[in-house]
Amino acid sequence: MHKRTRAAIAMMTAAATLALAACSSSTPGGGSSSSPATAAGSTTTVGFIMVGSTDDAGYNEAVSDGAKAVEKDLGTSVKVITADQIPENDSVTQTMQAMVSQGAKIIFATSYGYFKYALAFAKAHPDVTVLHQGGFLDGTFPANFGTYWGQAYDPVGLGGMAAGGVTQTNKLGFIYAFPIAQTIANIDAFELGAQKLNPAAQTYVVNTSSWCDPLKQKQAVTALLDQGVDVFSQHQDCQSTVIQAVKSAGKKIVGYHYDAAALYPDGWLTGSAWNWAPIYEKIIGAVQAGTFTGGIYNANWTGSFATGDNPLELASFGTSVSADLQAKIKAEQAALTKAGSSIFTGPIYCQDGTVLVAAGKVATYADTNSFSCLVKGVVGTLPSN
Amino acid sequence: MNIVGEVLTTAIPGSVALLYPSLGELISERSGVTNLGTEGAMLAGALSGVAVTIATGNPWLGVLASLVAGAACGALHAGAVVWRRANQLASGLVVWFLALGVTSVLGSPLNGQVIDPLPAVRIPGLADIPGVGPALFDQNPLVYLAYVAVPALWFFITYTRPGLTLRATGERPAVVFASGSHPSVIRFAAVTVGSALAGLGGAQLSIGIVGNWSDDMTNGYGFVAVAVVIFARWSPIGVLIGSYLFGAALAVSSVVQANGIAVNQYLLDALPYAITIVVLVIVSGFGRSNAPESQRDALSETQ
């Protein structure tokens, strides 16, 4: 009995240590740039929750950069608190609760898997505005809930053009995490982009069933190299492993989420990188002004090239991309800024020949959220139930 | 390239990252101590390996650091279990929690930084064997060391005097004490050395395979190592089979997809765990179990 008590104490110590560790990593560096006591009413506490590390050279670092920009740009009107490495389970609810205890009135839940927790939390806390990054709510929005995202597939398609223009083997590799609608749209856009410059280009897909599992990412690269793939892209949260593996093999990479050209300047073609600060600031402004409910952010908001507010931008070009290829990609980007244009302009066919987007039609953001097939030219299948 | 070769090429490095912790766990358990902190020791090894490699530019110093970090985790566990008579399972979990928390805090600035992984050293002749040659003999030196480690450990615990003492400590500590050795010292040493090997497994993952650090990058492979040892019934050969099987099954998922073959993904994800358990249970049906007798006491509720 005595021994078991000691074990229990040891366990509690461990739990406490872990909690401390988590706190010190989650508490923001410069969280309190304002003095809430003097500015009661005019300072809004804003929380950002991230699933991974703020230094992942990927999705989470982009969110972290956005949060830092908000803090810098909005000055004393906001107090920013952040939490990173919060798993997609009940932990996110606890984190949101903790943020509310610290006075948070706006919470940005930025990982895809947070969706149901964020929605439930919004319903339970009508006085807190909860935003989910990347989700799509098919139904009625609570007055204090919103989702936002960018038409990621357009810049991803531009990346696909770079890949198609550079490949020697006509085999491209795409390493993804989960077969969610966003990812399916990205894979399809990548292949369609590649076909614009190289009709023979094929995209081989491998999934890892994790947003960031370095071993599986490396294995995916190795397996794709064996197929003769010479240009890689990905939809993972962390980019480093795939970029490093591609570098070791001397192949090319199209990035996603974050401009990581510095990791491999010779092999980086281009990519897409999130610039979240503008939309974060607009949403915070809407909440502060009392115009959030019923407004465009109290719905599924999406930025795009066509509307000039796509939070996902084309990343820098690497040294190996010729001026000619850059010009072609930039011309396509310019074309996409015309209203009603998209990489998903029909006719587009699924692998099995069925029509995904009819001739003359352009898929809307809502349409892409129900995409469930890979387009012709993609090699591989989606995980099925 | 044939598909078997592709699976092997993809699988071997990952298998080795699992093999070292499994061998370490085997040493620890043969002395009578279960170490669930193996997962934590892998994390500590993975992080310190990358950190030291970045700081010094020498990956071999990183490997050394991973051994030290792993050993430190082991010493912590052994100290609690052997000297303070703490519950083995609780202490192991504490070490894991601690390592998980500490590595994610200390490793935070290293996320996203990349290093060149240990270079492959091609063995002339052997690497030219069609099919399996490149997969087996065009790997980094830690992989080759693993080839030697299994027979060496098997020989050590089966045929040498210190190996006998190690086993005896796991079976009947009182007898070891009566023969003039100190079971506590032997257990402390076994857990520490075993945990150092877990750290080496972490290094194989971070600097041998992927060339960077990311939080919780071991993804539970340390616990798989513990399971492999138990299902392999504490035999080095069984651990060898289990580790390579698990690694191969993990790689099958990527290779099958890259070949464009339609297989249920969720099945593929479960495959490494299912296949390893099933095969080891079948294999362990032959011959006797090497389960150390004192393990039964250590893990039972009645102590």
B293 touches chain A (CB under 8 A): no
Instruction: Give me the number of domains chain A comprises.
Output: 2
Three-state SS at A83: strand
**Contact check, Cβ <8 Å, B10/A53:** no
B138 touches chain A (CB under 8 A): no
| pLDDT (0 to 100) of residue B269 | 84
Tell me the torsion sign for CA atoms B117, B118, B124, B128.
negative
Whether A9 is in a domain gets the answer no
Instruction: Residue B292: name the closest of B125, B120, B176 by CA.
Output: B176
List the single residue in B with minimal CA-CA distance to A385: B264
How far off is chain A from B286, nearest CA to CA, in Å?
33
Average pLDDT over residues A151-161: 94
**Average pLDDT, whole number, for chain B?**
89
**Average pLDDT, whole number, for chain A?**
88
> Residue B157 CB: number of other CB atoms within 10 A?
22
| pLDDT (0 to 100) of residue B264 | 77
Whether A36 is in a domain gets the answer no
Whether A262 is in a domain gets the answer yes
**Residue A339 · residue A312 · CB < 8 Å:** no
> Residue A376 CB: number of other CB atoms within 10 A?
17
Element (H, E) at A272: strand A268-274
Q: What is this model's ipTM?
A: 0.86
In Å, what is the CA distance from A15 to each residue of A12, A20, A354, B274, B280? 5, 9, 53, 31, 34
Phi, psi of B78 (to 5 degrees): -65, -40
What is the C-alpha to C-alpha distance for residues A176 and B258, in angstroms, rounded to an integer?
Answer: 12
Q: CATH no. for residue A141?
A: 3.40.50.2300
Instruction: Give me the number of domains chain B comprises.
Output: 1
pLDDT at B299 over 90: no
pLDDT at B146 over 80: yes
| pLDDT (0 to 100) of residue A41 | 54
pLDDT band per the 50, 70, 90 thresholds, residue A111:
very high
Instruction: Residue A378: name the closest of A208, A242, A233, A218 by CA.
Output: A233
List the single residue in A with minimal CA-CA distance to B261: A380
**Contact check, Cβ <8 Å, A223/B251:** yes
Same domain, A221 and A293: no
Whether B60 is in a domain gets the answer yes
| pLDDT (0 to 100) of residue A39 | 42
B124 touches chain A (CB under 8 A): no
Q: Among A59, A60, A226, A239, which would you mutate to test the B interface (most chain B Cβ atoms within 10 Å of its Cβ)?
A: A226
Q: Out of A3-12, B106-115, B250-259, which region has the weakest mean confidence (pLDDT)?
A: A3-12
Q: Strands A129-133 and A104-109, how do they pair?
A: parallel
What is the C-alpha to C-alpha distance for residues A50 and A53, in angstroms, rounded to an integer?
Answer: 8
| pLDDT (0 to 100) of residue B280 | 78
- Ordered alpha helix ranges (H), chain A: 2-26, 59-74, 90-101, 115-124, 153-166, 181-197, 214-226, 240-249, 277-289, 323-336, 365-368
Cβ contacts of A87 within 8 Å, gap of 6 or more:
A51
A-B CB pairs within 8 A amount to 192
Whether A343 is in a domain gets the answer yes
B182-216 pLDDT, tens per residue?
999 999 999 999 999 999 999 999 999 999 998 88
Same domain, A174 and A187: yes
> Which residues span the domain enclosing B115?
3-119+149-299
What is the C-alpha to C-alpha distance for residues A72 and A70, in angstroms, rounded to an integer?
Answer: 5
pLDDT band per the 50, 70, 90 thresholds, residue B296:
low
Same domain, A179 and A227: yes
B165 touches chain A (CB under 8 A): no
B2 touches chain A (CB under 8 A): no
What is the C-alpha to C-alpha distance for residues A385 and B135, in angstroms, rounded to an integer?
Answer: 33
**Residue A244 · residue B211 · CB < 8 Å:** yes
Cis peptide before A347, with omega less than 30 degrees from 0? yes
Q: Out of A215-224, A279-288, B232-241, which region has the weakest mean confidence (pLDDT)?
A: B232-241
Whether B165 is in a domain gets the answer yes
Q: CATH no. for residue B177?
A: 1.10.3470
Same domain, A166 and A223: yes
Average pLDDT over residues B227-232: 88
**Residue A190 · residue A167 · CB < 8 Å:** no
Q: Within its chain, how far is the Cα of B294 from the centroid?
A: 22
Same domain, A145 and A167: no
Cβ-based contacts of B83 with chain A (< 8 Å): none
How far off is chain A from B287, nearest CA to CA, in Å?
34
Average pLDDT over residues A59-84: 94
Whether A199 is in a domain gets the answer yes
pLDDT band per the 50, 70, 90 thresholds, residue B298:
low
What is the C-alpha to C-alpha distance for residues B199 and B103, in angstroms, rounded to an integer?
Answer: 13
Residues 61-90 of B with CB under 8 A from A: 80, 84-87, 90
Three-state SS at A274: strand
Cβ-based contacts of A218 with chain B (< 8 Å): 13-14, 209-210
Cβ-based contacts of A382 with chain B (< 8 Å): 265
In the numeric block, the tokens 């606890």 are attached to A94
**Contact check, Cβ <8 Å, B266/A385:** yes
What is the C-alpha to C-alpha distance for residues B186 and B172, in angstroms, rounded to an integer?
Answer: 13
| pLDDT (0 to 100) of residue B6 | 85
Cβ contacts of A94 within 8 Å, gap of 6 or more:
none
A195-250 pLDDT, tens per residue?
999 999 999 999 998 888 899 999 999 999 999 999 999 999 888 899 999 999 99
A200 touches chain B (CB under 8 A): no
Same domain, A199 and A54: no
Tell me the torsion sign for CA atoms B185, B191, B197, B202.
negative
Whether B226 is in a domain gets the answer yes
Same domain, A183 and A84: no
Same domain, A281 and A268: no
Residues in chain B, overall count? 303
Cβ contacts of A227 within 8 Å, gap of 6 or more:
A171, A173, A204, B258, B259
What's the pTM value of the predicted model, to 2 decimals? 0.84
A381 touches chain B (CB under 8 A): yes
B151 touches chain A (CB under 8 A): no
Whether A7 is in a domain gets the answer no
**Residue A172 · residue A206 · CB < 8 Å:** no
Q: Name the percent of chain B lying above pLDDT 90.
A: 57
Residues 159-178 of A with CB under 8 A from B: 173
Tell me the torsion sign for CA atoms A365, A366, A372, A377.
negative
In the numeric block, the tokens 């060898």 are attached to B240
Q: Out of B23-27, B82-86, B130-134, which region has the weakest mean confidence (pLDDT)?
A: B130-134
> Which residues span the domain enclosing A334?
153-273+315-379
Average pLDDT over residues B118-142: 86
Tell me the torsion sign for CA atoms A70, A71, A75, A79.
positive
**Residue A187 · residue A158 · CB < 8 Å:** no
Compute the CA torsion angle B58, B62, B67, B73 (nearest 10 deg). 160
pLDDT at B61 over 50: yes
